[in-house]
Amino acid sequence: MAIAAAPAWSVPRGTEGVRIMAQGVTGHMTIAEVLAGTGLTEADLVDETAEIWAHQEFAVVRNIIGKLGDHTGQGIEVGGFSTFGRAGIVGFTFLASATVREGVERIAPYLALAPSHVRLSVDSDATHSYIVADDTEIPADVRPFIVERDLAGIAAVLRGAGVELAPEWIETTLDEERAERLVRTWSATAEIRPNQSRNRIAGPPGMLDAALPQADPNTARLFERQCAEVLDRRLARVGLSGQIRSRLLHDPAHFPSMQTVADELHLDPRTLRRRLSDEGTSFRALADDVRWTLAERLLAEHMPIEEIALRLGYAETASFTHAFTRWTGVAPSRSRARSRRRKRDGQST
């Protein structure tokens, strides 16, 4: 059984999160606009077996922000479409738990299976109990939207289950305007603490002991075992190379080192290197493949070559040009010129 919480980026997930976002912008964007550049199709959204990666969800968020603007409350509006059913097996595991505290503790190792990207935990001290929502794994450019969506979504699903918490204050990484809108989805009276280093929902010491109305210990244990089995199957199917490829695509603006990835996976770098070798690849090969994919996309978007080099972690443009030429046989400037010529020729026929 899985014990340590897997990073959200390391596990393929269902399409529930994308479906929620698509529903939330219905009337403002077409499905094609929502899914542009993600590699997903409309058929994937109605396929209960379809699996995607976190970076594909983030591409959907970027499409929504690019089309509709990054305005306050947009993520909250989307989060309002969240339900326990859409949280899948993780949602039912929570629902069958005895209390809110027990529910969060049960699902914490399996949150990568849920349509959420904040990492939930519970905490307490002498004066308060807390629901903590860590957003540090989320790329900065989509973080406000995701924090709005996920925390508003949690409030919505709790209300849907008949659970009314009474937070005294809520601190969040969001700015003042976003924080006010978000806090009011939880409480009309809770104190608002914006621009903080973390997200915490604070209430009296007994807040997390609120009973869940559909609790059943046998069912909760059954669902928890099923979560562990699903997580293990997905991790085994994609292998370590699939997880690392996903991590490299997770936040294109910040390319991680092998040491960073190993730390996030709780692996020794030598173990990571050996396991990748067993899968017939290496960290460098995966990094080169992802850089190549990203470089081709950024060239097509007309980003200056110097900026592409920096984005992909190269200290000098010449180093990027040498690497790109090794991958493709042509310099990036020639590759861009060829793409423009092919596009022009295609439009003229």
Q: What is the CATH number of the domain that holds 318?
A: 1.10.10.60
Query: pLDDT-derived band of residue 349, with 50, 70 and 90 as boundaries?
Result: very low
CB 91 within 8 A of CB 116: no
Are residue 25 and residue 137 in the same domain, yes or no?
yes
CA 180 – CA 171 distance, rounded (Å):
10
* Residue 233 belongs to some domain of the structure: no
Asked whether residue 170 falls in the same domain as residue 43, the answer is: yes
3-state helix, strand, coil split of the chain in percent (to 5) is 60, 10, 35
How confident is residue 348, by pLDDT bands cut at 50, 70 and 90?
low
Overall average pLDDT of the 246-264 stretch: 90
Interval 143-152: pLDDT, tens: 999 999 999 9
Are 86 and 202 within one domain? yes
Q: How far apart are CA 283 and CA 272, in angstroms?
A: 9
pTM: 0.88
Report pLDDT digits (tens) over 48-80.
889 999 999 999 999 999 999 988 999 999 998
Domain annotation covers residue 228: no
Per-residue pLDDT at 2: 40
- Distance in angstroms (rounded) separating the CA atoms of residues 52 and 38: 9
Give the end of a domain, one of 196, 219, 242: 219
Q: Is residue 113 part of a domain?
A: yes
Q: Are residues 197 and 288 in the same domain?
A: no
Do 100 and 197 share a domain, yes or no? Answer: yes
Q: Are 209 and 101 in contact (CB under 8 A)?
A: yes
pLDDT at position 240, please?
A: 96
In a domain, 3, yes or no: no
Based on the domain organization, do 263 and 195 belong to the same domain? no
Residue 152 belongs to domain spanning? 8-219
Percent of the chain residues past pLDDT 90, beyond the cut: 74
Is 22 in the same domain as 108? Answer: yes
150 and 64 in a common domain: yes
Question: Based on the domain organization, do 256 and 203 belong to the same domain?
Answer: no
Q: Which range, 198-207, 243-252, 320-329, is most confident?
A: 198-207
Q: Is residue 167 part of a domain?
A: yes
Per the CB < 8 A criterion, the answer to whether 168 and 202 are in contact is yes
The pLDDT score that the predictor gives to residue 336 is 84
Q: Is residue 225 part of a domain?
A: no
Are 72 and 203 part of one and the same domain? yes
The set of residues, in sequence order, having a beta carbon less than 8 Å from that of 303 and lying 6+ positions away, is 311
Let me know if residue 112 belongs to a domain: yes
d(CA 60, CA 40): 10
Based on the fold, state whether residues 192 and 277 are members of the same structural domain.
no
For residue 123, give the CATH number of its domain.
Answer: 3.90.1520
What's the whole-number average pLDDT of the chain?
Answer: 91
Q: Nearest CA to 73 among 168, 162, 176, 4?
A: 176
**214 shares a domain with 255:** no
- The string of pLDDT tens digits covering residues 2-41 is 456 788 899 999 999 999 999 999 999 999 999 998 999 9
Q: 3-class DSSP state for residue 193?
A: strand
Number of domains composing the chain:
2
* Helix/strand/coil (H/E/C) assignment for every residue in 67-100: HHCCCCCHHHHHHCCCCCHHHHHHHHHHHCCCEH
The answer to whether 19 and 47 are in contact (CB under 8 A) is no
239 within a domain of the structure (yes/no): no
